[in-house]
Chains A and B, each alone.
Chain A
Amino acid sequence: MDFFFELPLWVQAALKGLAVIAVIFPIAGACSMAERKVSAWIQDRPGPSRAIPPWFAIIPIIGPFLQRLGAFHLLADGGKLLFKEDPLPGHVNKFYFVMAPLVAMIPALSTVAFVPFGAYVSEAKQVVPLILANVDVGLLGVFALASLGVYSLILAGWASNSKYPFLGGVRASAQLISYELSMTLSVLPVFLWINAPGQSGSLSLARVVEYQSQPGFLGGMWFVFLMPVSAFIFLVALFAETNRQPFDMPESEADLVGGFHTEYGSFKWSLFFVAEYSHMTVGSAVFALLFLGGWNPLPWVSLQTLGGWLHLTGHPVVLGILSVLIFIGKVLASIFFFMWVRWTLPRFRYDQVMRIGWKQLLPLSILNLIVYTCIIGGMEYFGHR
């Protein structure tokens, strides 16, 4: 650890960046495979279960198991997308057409920097979050960067110079902007709750988790129980922001063929794909941090308590790994929820999506904000905090 911090700052930054790419790309790839596998489970069929490299086939139990799991389809798919011909249609605006997938990747990868993914207990008995950039803007940074993602969809739709992508791009711009409002408003009560007046406030996600790991009934309570409406609005808005069914208007394949990525193929298309999954991953991570207690194993059971039970207090590394595993478990569970919904529900119509966003979610989130502001104000007034 000390070795890392003695490196020059730019080397540290470069290493962190590489770490993000090395983590997010495989997770997105694994998500695409999980999507196929989960859909197979839901639809009562085996799903991807064929591909296996010859030298793996001879390993007795693990080989067939991984084959059955479809683990090698992930590699096969990635390889296929990488080595396929990369066509550039003649009618597109080449510069923006190539730029769009890159623009999609930038926010998808950079939001990860603000997301803490675990914690360890230092020698001074302090919980130190594992995070690439522990800044106070935290969530604001995630929102600010993630909302840049819409530019890639608009660019792709516009540069494709074709009608279906164009419609997809128009839908994307309207939808993503509409749902950002409710999303932001829905998390405000959480930060009002954790930041006492008179002190310098923080939008750091690590701070939220810290708050949820306090002792006591209210302290250890996850925000999903304390603010179920906020959690619900955030989750719905997350579906819309990540273009997941039932809100996948920009690429609704039934009417817009492929939406904004109709004209894309091979690796450029897969960049959109990876970007979508990494948005989903980061979104799930933020949801887990805000409402599901981050790396705390259970409500009212904090990581430190668990460490005490398992006699891990003196082993910061083991506890750190445990916290990361718990956190990843929560993220995967919510990704599974995303997939579950996708393969179960039909898709909304575009105007219905807008109606839900503006006429139902937004008023609800404003009301939610007002109610919690009043509650917090009342608690301040009567001195319960």
Chain B
Amino acid sequence: MPTEHVFPEAGAKAAAAAQEFEGEKMSLSMGPSHPSTHGVLRLQMEIDGEVLTKAEPILGYLHRGDEKIAENMTYNQFVPYTDRLDYLAPLANNVAYAIAVEKLANLEIPPRCQAIRVICCELARISSHLMGLGAYGIDVGAWTVFLYSFTEREKLYRLFEELTGARFTTSYTRIGGVSRDVPEGWTDRVNAFCDQFLPILEEILRLLTRNKIFTDRTVDIGVISKDDAVAYGLTGPNLRGSGVALDLRKDKPYSGYEQYEFDVPVGTKGDCYDRYLVRGEEMRQSVRIIKQAVAKFPGGDWYAKDAKKIFAPPKDKVLSSMEELIHNFMIVTEGPLIPPGEVYFEAENPKGILGFYIVSKGGGVPWRLKIRSPSFCNLSILPKVCVGAMISDVVSILGSFDFVMGECDR
């Protein structure tokens, strides 16, 4: 056999062998029904062995068209839909939405109502972070953390139920106030909850914070640099975990947050562990805020008295006075009378910055309502963070983002 024929053959063989060793990449679809994608997120991944070479989040499995729905109903009727955005912190969504519309209507909210809303927001933050913490525990395999944090959430739900009549879908706020005043002794029970919650929180966090296996799974995993976090529009604990101290409660206070003393925890590295630590510390700070709010809980009105055509009058007056009866009728049928204009308001929700952009052409129905949901923006960085991680790391990263698909897909 002539030599020049031997060598190309050997070369082809070697090339084939090299290709064989390089291996084929496998595409793996994680979700929409997968235990660790927290709802219906779907990640289309390309893996080389166990290492990701590509990850693409596919959204929209829970799309309900909330923004379009909002255009077909009055401002108050949309409140229940805000429950279903970030369904782990419905109270905070209610408050953010109500404040947005009130800004459009230029309403002055009495201090008592503001304090109620602050307490609601912070309770919702604790509830949401507890859920995030527990689910994160499950993602890295620590089931007990989940059950412990759920026990605490159950106590919170009891408080919510007492306040709003519902455990989960609270729909508590109305434009110009809240649906009802706080029940007798409720603030004391909130205080009692906070007192017993702090030691239990320490106990829960102690299961993970110094745990070698947990730190192995989270430290230096899913690192997001400061610049990346800002560039991708991350907000909330995910942004603060990367070391950017952006907290709208401090930077653009609303609902009287400027009266309360609290710290904004930030991380140093921006890895999963930092995000976990930030959430833990935020719960402590929330307790601090709640205790201050309860300590100087103001008296007075719990809804805006001057908002005659916006906030439905009390029932006893509706049944006894002509003017109130007409207002009540108009607010229920036509919706609260909001002047024409447009507004963008964003609030620091547990998951990040929840923004409402509302355009009104007058009347009781928004002409356009746009929701800026934190989970959606936070997930945008997934393709960048996940590359090079292992499959188990993806679970860890997803858990540390603490997203909610109801809000992401809305």
A-to-B contact residues, CB < 8 Å: 39, 42-45, 163-164, 167, 245-246, 248, 252-257, 343-352
- Across-interface contacts of A163 in B (CB, < 8 A): 26, 28
In the complex, per-residue mask of B316-332: 1 if CB is within 8 Å of any chain A CB, else 0: 00000000000000000
**Contacting residues, chain A, for B144 (C-beta < 8 A):** 39, 42-43, 343-344
Tell me, in angstroms, the Cα distance from A45 to B144 when the chains sit together: 11
* Docked-complex contact B394 and A39, CB < 8 angstroms: no
Contacts of B1-50 to chain A: CB distance below 8 A: 26, 28, 34-36, 50
B-side interface mostly: helix
Q: Which of B211, B214, B216 has the most CB of A within 10 A?
A: B216
Partner-binding segment picked from B59-67, B297-305, B385-393 = B385-393
Q: By the criterion CB–CB under 8 Å, are A44 and B142 in contact?
A: no
Q: Of B50, B138, B211, which one neighbours A350 at CB under 8 angstroms?
A: B50
- Chain A residues within an 8 Å CB radius of B148: 43-44
Known interface pairs A39-B143, A351-B390; A346-B395 also in contact (CB < 8 Å)? no
CA distance A313 to B214 in the complex (A): 52
Across the interface, do A349 and B34 meet the contact criterion of CB distance under 8 Å? no
CB nearest neighbor in A for B396:
A349
Chain B interface, number of residues (Cβ within 8 angstroms): 30
Residues of B within 8 A of A246 (CB): 141, 213
* In contact, B141 and A43 (Cβ under 8 angstroms): no
In the complex, what distance in Å separates the CA atom of A253 from the CA atom of B35? 7
Cβ of B151 and Cβ of A255 under 8 Å apart? no
List, in ascending order, chain A residues with CB within 8 A of B214's CB: 346
Give CA–CA (A43, B141) in the complex, Å.
14
In the complex, which of the residues A45, A257, A347, A352 contacts B147, with contact meaning CB atoms closer than 8 Å?
Answer: A45
Contact yes or no, A254 B142, CB < 8 A: no
Least CB distance from A36 to B in Å reads 12
Within B203-221, which residues are at the interface with A (CB < 8 Å)?
207-208, 211, 213-214, 216-217
Give me 16 A-to-B residue pairs in the complex whose CB atoms sit less than 8 angstroms apart, sorted by A's number: A43-B143, A44-B151, A167-B50, A167-B391, A245-B141, A254-B395, A255-B394, A343-B144, A344-B142, A345-B142, A345-B213, A347-B140, A347-B142, A347-B213, A348-B213, A350-B391
Check B143 against A349 for contact (C-beta < 8 Å): no
B374 at the interface (CB under 8 A from A): no
By a CB distance below 8 angstroms, the chain B residues around A351 are: 50, 390
Which chain A positions have C-beta within 8 A of B143? 39, 43, 343
The interface centre, meaning the residue of A246, A346, A348 with most chain B CB atoms within 10 A of its CB, is A346
A346→B143 CA distance, assembly (Å):
8
Q: How far is the CB of A196 from chain B (nearest CB, A)?
A: 41
Chain B residues near A352: list those with CB within 8 A: 216-217
Q: How far is the CA of A252 from the CA of B50 in the complex (A)?
A: 14
Question: How far does the Cβ of A37 sit from chain B's closest Cβ, in whole Å?
Answer: 14
Q: For A39, list chain B residues within 8 Å (CB).
A: 143-144
A3, B217: Cα distance in complex, Å? 59
Q: What B residues does A256 contact at CB under 8 A?
A: 391
Instruction: List the A side residues contacting B137 at CB < 8 Å.
Output: 346
Q: A246-B141, A254-B35 are in contact. List 10 more A-B contacts (CB 8 A).
A: A42-B144, A43-B143, A163-B28, A254-B139, A257-B34, A344-B144, A346-B208, A346-B213, A349-B216, A349-B392
Using Cβ atoms and an 8 Å threshold, which residues of chain A touch B139?
A: 254
Docked complex Cα distance between A45 and B143 (Å): 13
Interface pair A44/B147, CB less than 8 Å apart = yes
Within the complex, what minimum Cβ distance (angstroms) separates B400 from chain A?
A: 13
CB distance from B166 to the nearest CB of A (A): 24
A236 to chain B, nearest CB (A): 13
For the complex, would chain A's binding face be called helix, strand, loop or mixed by DSSP majority? loop
Residues of B within 8 A of A255 (CB): 36, 391-392, 394-395
Q: Mark B108-140, 1 if CB is under 8 A from A, else 0.
A: 000000000000000000000000000001111
The complex places the Cα of A351 from the Cα of B28 at a distance, in Å, of 19
| Nearest CB of chain B from residue A317's CB, rounded to whole Å | 43
Q: How far is the CB of A126 from chain B (nearest CB, A)?
A: 47
Contact (A254, B141) CB under 8 Å given A344-B207, A349-B217? yes
B149 to nearest A CB, angstroms? 11
Q: Mark B382-410, 1 if CB is under 8 A from A, else 0.
A: 00000000111111000000000000000
Interfacial chain B residues near A254, Cβ < 8 Å: 35-36, 138-141, 392, 395
| Residue among B34, B208, B392 with max Cβ neighbours from chain A (10 Å) | B392
CB distance from A250 to the nearest CB of B (A): 13
Tell me whether B147 and A346 are in contact (CB under 8 A).
no
Distance of A239 from chain B, by nearest CB (Å): 12
- Report how far A252 CA is from B147 CA in the complex, Å: 19
Contact: A348 with B217, CB < 8 Å? yes
Q: Are B35 and A257 in contact (CB under 8 A)?
A: yes
B335-372 Cβ-contact flags toward A at 8 Å (1 or 0): 00000000000000000000000000000000000000
Set of chain A residues within 8 Å of B211, measured between Cβ atoms: 345-346
Complex A-B, nearest 4 residue pairs according to Cβ-Cβ distance, in ascending order: A347-B141, A43-B147, A346-B142, A346-B140
User: A49 CA to B81 CA in the complex, in Å?
Assistant: 38
Question: Smallest Cβ distance from B197 to chain A, in angstroms?
Answer: 15
Alpha-carbon distance A246/B144, docked complex (angstroms): 13
Q: Chain A residues near B35: list those with CB within 8 A.
A: 253-254, 257
Partner of A252, one of B151, B392, B394: B392
**Nearest CB in chain B to that of A42: its residue:** B144
- Interchain CA distance A345-B148 in the complex, whole Å: 14
* Chain A residues near B217 (CB-CB < 8 A): 346-349, 352
A147 CA to B144 CA, complexed, in Å: 31
Name, among A167, A254, A344, A350, the residue most crowded by chain B CB atoms within 10 Å (CB to CB): A254
CB distance from B208 to the nearest CB of A (A): 7
Instruction: State how many angstroms separate the Cβ of A381 from the closest Cβ of chain B.
Output: 41
Task: List chain A residues, Cβ under 8 A from B36.
Answer: 254-255
Q: Which residues of B contact A347 (CB under 8 A)?
A: 140-142, 213, 217, 392
Greatest chain A CB density within 10 A among B50, B143, B394 is at: B143
Q: Which residue on chain A has the smallest CB distance to residue B26?
A: A163
Measured CB to CB, the closest approach of chain A to B224, in angstroms, equals: 19
- Whether the Cβ atoms of B141 and A346 lie closer than 8 Å is yes
Query: In the complex the two chains form, what is the Cα distance from A350 to B396 in whole Å?
Result: 13
Report the bound CA distance from A254 to B394 in whole Å.
10
